[in-house]
C-alpha cells in the first residue's frame, strides 16, 4: 500500500482548521480518511508583513524554509492578520494614514518577494486567500481590534471607540479589501506558477459573484459569538478546509 500524500500547511491562526485530519475523517462519517495527510504549523500572529527582510520573533520564514526541502505539496495561508489587525495598527497606533488599495499592493509586493526567494521548484505550492471578515458591527470590531493592537491592555468599550473606532472600516469596506487582496494573490499565484484557492464562495452569503445588489458578507452560521475574528470552529468549517487542501492539488 502506497503512503498517502503529505500536504504541509503554513499559515496564521486562521489556518488551524486544516489540521486534525484523522479525527475529523471519522467525525464526518467518512468510510476512510482522505488520501492525504496534513502536517505543518499554524502560527498565531503570523503576517505577510513579517516576510520582510530581517528576523521576527515568530520565525515564520525560518520555519517554512526549514521544512520546505522535504515537502512535496505545500499551502501558504497568510494575510488575514494583516488585513484585520495590521491595517489598524498602522493607522491607529503608528498613525501612518494607510488606505486599503495601497496597503494591499504593499502586502502583495512583500508576498511576491518572499516567494521569489523560496527554493520550492521540487514542491507544488498553493496560496490560500483570506476569508470574509467576522469583524462586524463596528463597535464589536473596535473592541476586538483594540484589545489586540493595544497588546493585551485592558480597554473599555468607550476607550476602544475613541482609540480605534474612527479607523474601523464598515463590514462591506473591510470585505472589499479582503476580496482585492484575494484577487491580487490569485494573480500572483498565476504569474509565478503556483496554485490558488479560497473559501469565500463556500462561506459567504451567496452574493460573492454579484448575483444581487447586496454586498458579499460572511454567512451568519460561520460567525462566532465570541470576541474573536476567526470563523466559528465547526465540523463544517473543518471539513471545508480539509477538502479544499486536497482539491488544491487534485487529490480528491
Count of structural domains, the chain: 1
What are 211-220's contacts with CB under 8 Å, separation 24+? 215/172, 215/175, 215/176, 216/132, 216/175, 216/179, 217/132, 217/136, 217/171, 217/172, 217/175, 218/131, 218/132, 218/133, 218/134, 218/175
Q: Burial of 133 by CB count in 10 Å (0-12 exposed, 13-18 middle, 19+ buried)?
A: buried
Q: Which domain holds residue 84?
A: 5-132+171-247
The pTM for the full model equals: 0.92
CB 139 within 8 A of CB 44: no
Phi, psi at residue 12, to the nearest 5°?
A: -80, -165
Q: What is the CATH number of the domain that holds 178?
A: 3.40.50.1110
Asked whether the predicted pLDDT for residue 20 surpasses 80, the reply is no
Confidence of residue 54 (pLDDT cuts 50, 70, 90): confident
What span, in angstroms and rounded, lies between the C-alpha atoms of 231 and 235?
Answer: 11
Task: Report pLDDT digits (tens) over 158-174.
Answer: 877 788 889 999 999 99
Of the given ranges (43-57, 64-78, 105-119), which has the lowest mean pLDDT? 43-57
Task: Report pLDDT digits (tens) over 177-232.
Answer: 999 999 999 999 999 999 999 999 999 987 655 555 678 899 999 998 888 899 99
Q: Is residue 148 part of a domain?
A: no
Q: Is residue 37 part of a domain?
A: yes
Per-residue pLDDT, averaged over 2-29, amounts to 81
Starting at the earlier edge strand, list the strands of the sheet with 5-11.
Answer: 36-42, 5-11, 73-77, 124-128, 195-197
Q: Burial of 26 by CB count in 10 Å (0-12 exposed, 13-18 middle, 19+ buried)?
A: exposed
Q: Is residue 68 part of a domain?
A: yes
Per-residue pLDDT at 87: 96
Q: What percent of the chain has pLDDT over 70?
A: 89
Q: Is residue 225 part of a domain?
A: yes
Q: What percent of the chain has pLDDT over 90?
A: 59
Q: Is residue 163 part of a domain?
A: no
Q: Is residue 152 part of a domain?
A: no
Alpha carbon separation from 243 to 133, 147, 217 (Å, rounded): 21, 33, 22
End-to-end CA distance of the chain: give it in Å, rounded: 18
Confidence of residue 55 (pLDDT cuts 50, 70, 90): low
Q: Is residue 176 part of a domain?
A: yes
E strands, 129-225, are 195-197
3-class DSSP state of 39: strand
Q: Is residue 158 part of a domain?
A: no
Please name the helix (run of DSSP H) or strand (run of DSSP E) that holds residue 74, with its range, or none.
Answer: strand 73-77
Amino acid at each position: 500500500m502506497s503512503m498517502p500524500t503529505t500536504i504541509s500547511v503554513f499559515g496564521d491562526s486562521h489556518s488551524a482548521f486544516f489540521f486534525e485530519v484523522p479525527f475529523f475523517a471519522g467525525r464526518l462519517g467518512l468510510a476512510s480518511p482522505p488520501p492525504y495527510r496534513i502536517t505543518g504549523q499554524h502560527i498565531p500572529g503570523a503576517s505577510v508583513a513579517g516576510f520582510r527582510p530581517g528576523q521576527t520573533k515568530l520565525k515564520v520564514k525560518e520555519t517554512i524554509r526549514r521544512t520546505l526541502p522535504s515537502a512535496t505539496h505545500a499551502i501558504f495561508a497568510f494575510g488575514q492578520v494583516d488585513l484585520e489587525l495590521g491595517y489598524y495598527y498602522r493607522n491607529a497606533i503608528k498613525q501612518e494614514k494607510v488606505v486599503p488599495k495601497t496597503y494591499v499592493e504593499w502586502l502583495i509586493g512583500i508576498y511576491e518577494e518572499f516567494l521569489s526567494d523560496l527554493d520550492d521548484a521540487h514542491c507544488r505550492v498553493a496560496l490560500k486567500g483570506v476569508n470574509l471578515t467576522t469583524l462586524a458591527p463596528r463597535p464589536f470590531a473596535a473592541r476586538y481590534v483594540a484589545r489586540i493592537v493595544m497588546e493585551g491592555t485592558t480597554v473599555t468599550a468607550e476607550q476602544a471607540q475613541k482609540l480605534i473606532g474612527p479607523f474601523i472600516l464598515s463590514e462591506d469596506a473591510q470585505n472589499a479589501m479582503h476580496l482585492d487582496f484575494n484577487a491580487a494573490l490569485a494573480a500572483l499565484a498565476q504569474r509565478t506558477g503556483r496554485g490558488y484557492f479560497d473559501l469565500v464562495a463556500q462561506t459567504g452569503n451567496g452574493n460573492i459573484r454579484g448575483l444581487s445588489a447586496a454586498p458579499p458578507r460572511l454567512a451568519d452560521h460561520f460567525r462566532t459569538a465570541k470576541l474573536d475574528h476567526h470563523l466559528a470552529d465547526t465540523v463544517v468549517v473543518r471539513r471545508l478546509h480539509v477538502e479544499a487542501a486536497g482539491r488544491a492539488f487534485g487529490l480528491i
